[in-house]
Structure 1
Amino acid sequence: MNKHCTRFSDISTSEKILNTVFLLTITLGYIVALMNTYYSHQGRDGKRGLSIDDIAIMYHGSYNQSRLETAINGIMEPNLKFKTDKEIISKWIHKGAEETTYQTEIAPILNRDCAICHTPTINASLPDLSNYKGVKEVTHSGGAPLPSLVRVSHIHLFGIAFILYFIGRIFLLCDINIYVKRVAVVIPFIAMLLDVLSWFITKALPEFAYVVVISGTLMGLSMGMQIIISIYQMWLPVPQKLS
């Protein structure tokens, strides 16, 4: 026995309101996430704004600076109370990053300006700058360490997958071609998986940073398309069609 497919015209106004506020909240959250991506990645190449080089440095590392130097010359520079502290940190790194000097000269700077965010209990996704062992790990020129990528990627996959699922469930109520609908709900999942996979590949091949940008953009555009069409058809119904 065939059952009638549920469409937006079949749901109550209360359900439409619930779906709409959810989609609008997700849209706002995504915009904030983009802002966070911009501010956490930009400036790593020593220039203002977000560039492909910033993405490559984030995952692969810089050829001429350690991770800590890249940060204090870019995104973390505004957090330093005294700009001369950059020179103190850089000299310490190039002299071997010894623990004795760290305790007397570097720890006071980092504890004052950086540890408030770079502490595992506050933000596990950021490098730990609250002790010598954690700081020592960012005094080399490599990109994001593998354990950090694994930690961030598993959180990213679980969290984004749930969001995409609920957006897709709402989008399935749209009255559009069934084949277009099927492709549309799959694309953001593929883009998300490609995005995460490209983080690990970029760690070895910096040129793959372009794929990070392209896949992230594709996921955002496909999500936005589903949200816009869903809200439009919820409140401005189209003529009924079989799909």
Structure 2
Amino acid sequence: MPAPPERYRRFRDISVSERILNTVFLLTIGLGYLMALANMYYTHQGLDGKAGLSVEDIVISYHGGKDQTRLGTAINGIMKSNLKYVSDKDVILQWIQQGAEEPAYEEKIAPILNRDCIVCHTPTINPSLPDLTHYATVSEVAHAGGATIPTLVRVSHIHLFGIAFILFFIGKIFILCDINVHIKRVAVVIPFAAMLLDVLSWFITKEISSFAYVVIFSGALMGLSMGLQIFLSIYQMWFFSKNNRSDKD
């Protein structure tokens, strides 16, 4: 006698406790992603000297500006209000214009940055922000050009490791949805593919500024696909299969 076909688990097969656990996890991840978007906005916006996030801000972040440095645009824009004394802006800009040399950095610039900036611009606190704790990394943003290759490697390996785990657990929950299996298989791959495209486009944008549009597209695709998985999972857990689900604790 042939063995009965294998029955795959769906949301209707899991207990109420497991649904609660899955839901609070997904909601927390969703909230965390919104905070990550806010962090990205405040990290990159205003680099072109204008309020708000634009494609030009992304270009400056990764490729660099033609006539400006990342530190100079930040001091003139979004970071200006963080300086304790207004006159410090002119001190930093003058240092940049004079070549951003190390002796003047140690004498004039380091005290300002240590007082007003490193509370956020420290790798252990926020690895996505430029490191302003010592001259070698400050020099990277004080000269023309975008993010350096070592910086991109450091940020991308953190990004890949962290986001991959999040997408895996979201996908593990999402595959319990009762939808077309082919759609499901494509849906779990899209956010991973978008994440890889996003990171790869950072390095390409470093050389080709027009790839900033790919950075924006891939980041949006990853967020939308992840958000759709979260929404469908919560919907099916509590509403779609409510007449057929188990009453287990």
With the length of structure 1 as denominator, give the TM-score of the two structures. Answer: 0.93
Contact (CA 8 Å) 2:49, 2:74: kept in 1 or not? no
Q: Is the counterpart of residue 51 in structure 1 residue 49 in structure 2?
A: no
Whole-Å Cα distance in 2 between the matches of residues 222 and 124 of structure 1?
Answer: 25
Of the three residues 137, 141, 147, the one matched with 1:138 is: 141
Q: Is the counterpart of residue 216 in structure 1 residue 246 in structure 2?
A: no
Contact (CA 8 Å) 1:44, 1:70: kept in 2 or not? yes
C-alpha displacement at 1:100, in angstroms?
A: 3.1
Contact (CA 8 Å) 1:110, 1:129: kept in 2 or not? yes
The aligned residue for residue 78 of structure 2 is: 75
Q: Which runs of 4+ in 1 moved over 6 A?
A: none
Q: Secondary structure at the match of 1:222?
A: helix
C-alpha displacement at 1:37, in angstroms?
A: 0.5
C-alpha displacement at 1:125, in angstroms?
A: 4.2
Whole-Å Cα distance in 1 between the matches of residues 196 and 136 of structure 2?
Answer: 32
Number of equivalences: 240
Of the three residues 175, 180, 184, the one matched with 1:181 is: 184
Q: Secondary structure at the match of 1:137?
A: helix
Whole-Å Cα distance in 2 between the matches of residues 205 and 22 of structure 1?
Answer: 39
Moved more, 124-133 or 227-236: 124-133
Whole-Å Cα distance in 2 between the matches of residues 96 and 117 of structure 1?
Answer: 25
Q: Is the counterpart of residue 33 in structure 1 residue 25 in structure 2?
A: no
With the length of structure 2 as denominator, give the TM-score of the two structures. Answer: 0.91
RMSD of the TM alignment (CA)? 1.6
The aligned residue for residue 96 of structure 2 is: 93
Contact (CA 8 Å) 1:62, 1:70: kept in 2 or not? no
Structure 2 unmatched ranges of 5 or more: 245-249
Q: Is the counterpart of residue 15 in structure 1 residue 18 in structure 2?
A: yes
Structure 1 unmatched ranges of 5 or more: none
Contact (CA 8 Å) 1:42, 1:74: kept in 2 or not? no
Contact (CA 8 Å) 1:59, 1:202: kept in 2 or not? yes
Of the three residues 218, 227, 232, the one matched with 1:229 is: 232
The aligned residue for residue 103 of structure 1 is: 106
Instruction: Write the letter of the residue equivalent to 1:102.
Output: Y
